[in-house]
Structure 1
């Protein structure tokens, strides 16, 4: 009996199983608009892409929308034609010299290569106060299972909020420029597995977009008409950026009440579900609509804002805690984006 049972069990894995066919809907491709024009120097960019709805198997697939006609109109009847970047397909740029005018309203209009037309609701440009000062605060973030915490520099801006208007703020960091230190004398030939020191170069300058790990926004309910200090950015220490000196511009935008509400919803979802780089669990509609199909869901937002900015140089001695320095055993020019000479306006 036992032998017979064993024989039956051995035959079971050989039985044929008909595959179950699962039809997974791909979901519609949603147009996504990320546009910001402001009163500061340009060029300003509008990026247009298509992405699948949340839950689709293609939800992480983002495709640039190429060959569109993109224009910005203001309330004075001016029309500004944006040109698509040659190296950044799907991104459209304002002409050199264009700056949004304080008090004017702007509308973004898009016609895709397929002939579909989209427009934004008008956005009014409000004035932005100057950033008086920027303070630094080293922040350590414990990492579970790691002895060395993550860390970085929090930027705290001081502003004098105007008392005669309701203000909504949005802060964004420019790409940083930092001194990159390498050790070409430690170069090792991977083919021969022998030391192969190089004579050059030890020091370069690298420009990179570090972004923010969160959205930095605020409204002046609690500090209307007062001087205030508020966090406006964060730069993570990756063991390379702060080995010498780093430069960053803090861009401050005075946005509309509607734009602030949109950014606040995005921030809330990002903080609940992960980071701003994760896809949101629900679509957040912005101020873009389809003129062909009012029911079509269009994602993103077109922002027109007043702008101010302040530049700051951060020295390694400004940090109260630093990550272990990453050794680069090669010519510093071998690092992607590194250049031997600093930007023309480098002036620490």
Structure 2
């Protein structure tokens, strides 16, 4: 009887069909991300569409390909952008293109299907110079961990002009650092897995674009016409970046009041922690509109602003706190983005 009972149970348990989630197709919003500044190009405009998802997580963000993208200024001059075939959906200005202070710029897009979109005009405002760029170590306690998370915070000193309202936006440019590895600890891959130390190479130079984990912005309501210090970037310590020397370019951009408002709302949404005091999540409308359907929701923002850059070298030995060095038991040249020789303008 027991054998018959278990046989019946196995028959019933073996006939369970998989449950497939059926998600109705939702709106696929066009998203526009772009920034032009007074620095030389190429400047990038990124076009994507969001997608719905269900049982199979595919195509959540899809590039918009083969669009016609132009930038027009208030004098009627038109600049055509070319799509980057190695990164579809990204459209680049010519290398010698740069915005001019006082000019207004409009982004215009025609998709391959024929839909036409335009931005509202964005006026380019001058950017005060960076008086000083410095750095300091920052540690962040991690619950349940003895070793805190850490990184380096960049700080700018600026003399804010009194005669105008300024809306600051900071971004990290490309970074390069000394990468140290241990080829003497290399092991052959399985199944052999035996010591096989390599003769070269211990030290390389790695280039990366880290961006910022948060949006760093400020308006001069509280320091208009004054000298001030502002934290403008945070670079996480991953056990590699600050073993020796780290170099990064900081971009300081003066954006419009409307662009600042957009960035502030995006920052609030990105820092939602799940508290009852958090603002409700929502689609944040930018300055892009459809000329075919004014009611269509278009996400993102086309920005234009004056820009200044400042380069800084960070000496890892001078930091108050560093993460334990991450050991890479291999030739440093096999690490993606690394080169044996430093950049031509490397000058710590």
- TM-score (ref. length: structure 2): 0.91
Instruction: Give the match for residue 44 of structure 1.
Output: 43
Question: 2:334, 2:20 → 1: CA distance?
Answer: 50
TM superposition shift of 1:29: 1.1
- Does residue 101 in structure 1 map to residue 100 in structure 2? yes
Instruction: Give the match for residue 120 of structure 1.
Output: 119
Gap runs ≥5 in structure 1? 275-279
Distance 1:329 1:18, change over 3 A: closer
Distance 1:26 1:144, change over 3 A: farther
Q: Could you give the per-residue CA deviations for residues 137-193 of structure 1, whole angstroms, max 9, x where no partner exists?
A: 211111111111110000011111111110001000012110101111111112322
Instruction: Give the match for residue 68 of structure 1.
Output: 67
Secondary structure of the residue that 2:272 maps to in structure 1?
A: helix
TM superposition shift of 1:86: 2.5
2:23–2:53: 8 Å Cα contact kept in structure 1? no
2:21–2:55: 8 Å Cα contact kept in structure 1? no
Instruction: Give the match for residue 209 of structure 1.
Output: 209
Q: Could you give the per-residue CA deviations for residues 315-334 of structure 1, whole angstroms, max 9, x where no partner exists?
A: 11231000000111110001
Instruction: Give the match for residue 288 of structure 1.
Output: 288
TM superposition shift of 1:56: 11
Question: 2:225, 2:334 → 1: CA distance?
Answer: 50
Question: 1:28, 1:99 → 2: CA distance?
Answer: 35
Secondary structure of the residue that 2:222 maps to in structure 1?
A: coil
Q: How many residues align?
A: 339
Question: 1:309, 1:289 → 2: CA distance?
Answer: 32
Question: 1:86, 1:62 → 2: CA distance?
Answer: 17
- TM-score (ref. length: structure 1): 0.91
Question: 1:251, 1:150 → 2: CA distance?
Answer: 25
| Further displaced range: 204-213 or 100-109 | 204-213
Instruction: Give the match for residue 315 of structure 1.
Output: 315
Instruction: Give the match for residue 133 of structure 1.
Output: 132
1:131–1:308: 8 Å Cα contact kept in structure 2? yes
Question: 1:57, 1:168 → 2: CA distance?
Answer: 42
TM superposition shift of 1:20: 8.0
Secondary structure of the residue that 1:225 maps to in structure 2?
A: coil
Question: 1:138, 1:167 → 2: CA distance?
Answer: 28
- Does residue 263 in structure 1 map to residue 263 in structure 2? yes
Distance 1:57 1:35, change over 3 A: farther
Instruction: Give the match for residue 83 of structure 2.
Output: 84
Instruction: Give the match for residue 277 of structure 1.
Output: none
Question: 2:20, 2:251 → 1: CA distance?
Answer: 52
Question: 1:57, 1:283 → 2: CA distance?
Answer: 24
Distance 1:145 1:77, change over 3 A: same
TM superposition shift of 1:54: 9.8
Question: 1:95, 1:59 → 2: CA distance?
Answer: 33
Distance 1:12 1:234, change over 3 A: same
| Further displaced range: 189-198 or 333-342 | 189-198
Secondary structure of the residue that 1:189 maps to in structure 2?
A: coil
Question: 1:228, 1:291 → 2: CA distance?
Answer: 43
Question: 1:177, 1:300 → 2: CA distance?
Answer: 30
Instruction: Give the match for residue 148 of structure 2.
Output: 149
Secondary structure of the residue that 1:171 maps to in structure 2?
A: strand
Instruction: Give the match for residue 303 of structure 1.
Output: 303
Q: Could you give the per-residue CA deviations for residues 70-125 of structure 1, whole angstroms, max 9, x where no partner exists?
A: 00000011000011112111111111111100000000001111111110000000
TM superposition shift of 1:22: 5.8
Secondary structure of the residue that 2:261 maps to in structure 1?
A: helix
Secondary structure of the residue that 2:221 maps to in structure 1?
A: coil
1:42–1:99: 8 Å Cα contact kept in structure 2? yes
Distance 1:235 1:55, change over 3 A: farther
Instruction: Give the match for residue 327 of structure 2.
Output: 327
* Counterpart selection for 2:12 from 11, 14, 37: 14
TM superposition shift of 1:13: 8.8
Gap runs ≥5 in structure 2? 275-279
